[in-house]
Each structure stands twice: as C-alpha cells, then as structure tokens.
Amino acid sequence: MLGVLRAQGQADQPAAQRYYNSVLALDETVSWYDKHHLVPFAEFFPVPHFVRAWMRLMSLPYSDFTPGAADQPPLPAAHLKLGTTVCYEDAYGSSMLRVLSRADALVNVTNDAWFGHSSARHQHFQIARMRALEEGRYMVRAANDGISAVIGPHGEVIARAQEFRAVALVSSIVPYAGLPPYAHVGNWLVMSLGALALAYGLWVRNDRDRRGKGCRPAVRD
C-alpha cells in the first residue's frame, strides 16, 4: 500500500482534471482509496466563486483536491480487507463505521513532517490509538517524520518505528471480525448524553434564578 497523489482526466484538458489524495493498494487487483475529509486551505480553498475567478485573473496558481466518496470499500492487500484513512481522517471516529463491518484491519497513512519535533506528532498518534480501541481492530500506521507503529485492538502499541530515520518496521497483525459497542451506537449515545447534561444544567441555573428572585426580603416603608 502506497500513499500517492493522483490525477484523473485528460492530460490535454487541465481544467477538467481532478486531483485526489489517495492510497494505492497493489494486490491481485489495483485498488484506490481517495481521502474524503479534506483540510481547508491545505487541500482545498473554501472560498466563493468570485474569489476563484479573481485568483485565475491574477494568475495565482492553485488546485483543489477532490474529496473521495463518503462510503468506500476496504482495500484488499495481503489477504486482508483494510479500512483506510489518510492523515487526520482518523480524528473522525464515526467516519470508519461505514466500512468497519467489511474491514478486518485498519491502515492510516499520514505526513506529519510539518509538526517537526513538537507534541503534535504524539497527539496525532494518540488519536490513532483511540480509533483502534473504538473499532476493535489492529491498525498499521505509516507517518512521514511522525510516529509509525502497529497498534493493537485495545489501543496498545505492538511495535513502533524509530523516529526521524528511514527504517523498516516488521511486525504482525491479526484480522478481526465483528462490531464493538461503539460501532453499534456511533456518536448518538455521547451526543444524547451531552444534550441531556446541557439541558439539565440550564434547568438548574434557571431554577436557581427563580428561587433567588422569590426570596427577596420585603421592603417596609
């Protein structure tokens, strides 16, 4: 599996070409995963049409990536069916639920080079560990200048590559089937509990305000 950028369309019609941030799987067949959650101002410009027209008029070079479909099948590789994410797509736990029932392992490819030696590399790695725990699957994570590792289905680190060096990380994973509790309920349980907690907090505050207004001392002439 390789993280690549690809263009789709006719080479002699650059205006009609579409660009994708993708993962290529080379197995008995060639398969692609196209990144769905794009990063604003890094992978696309969320600006109105007239701004785009002005950029073209001023000959400012720009090209948007095209988002992949929200529902994409797992990639077949090495007798596995791999649910794939690119970069910070692993921050969206619910985005994997569409493919989880068909995937027996996970893959995340990312370029964390712009984080340098900051703590952001470790934060992104913790996010990946949380996804493996939520979805009950092994995850293989390849990160340029980030933290490359194999993560177990309980979020544990099975193997971890040395950072900031070109190395080959050798490990093994076990394909898993079935759906963990999170896959059955998604974010609805957390959102519902959060809404109830907010409603209760507002009710308690309003109730205190009403009691405070009702307990004012009487004013005598």
Domain ranges across the chain: 2-177
Ordered per-residue pLDDT tens for the chain, 221 residues? 999 999 888 777 766 788 999 999 999 999 999 999 998 877 877 777 766 666 665 555 567 889 999 899 999 999 999 999 999 999 988 888 889 999 999 999 999 988 989 999 999 999 999 999 999 999 999 999 899 999 999 999 999 999 998 899 999 999 999 988 888 888 888 889 999 999 999 888 887 767 766 655 555 55
Full-model pTM = 0.81
CA nearest neighbour of 153 among 196, 106, 110: 106
Handedness of CA 174, 35, 31, 113 (dihedral sign): negative
CATH fold, domain 2-177, is Nitrilase/N-carbamoyl-D-aminoacid amidohydrolase (3.60.110)
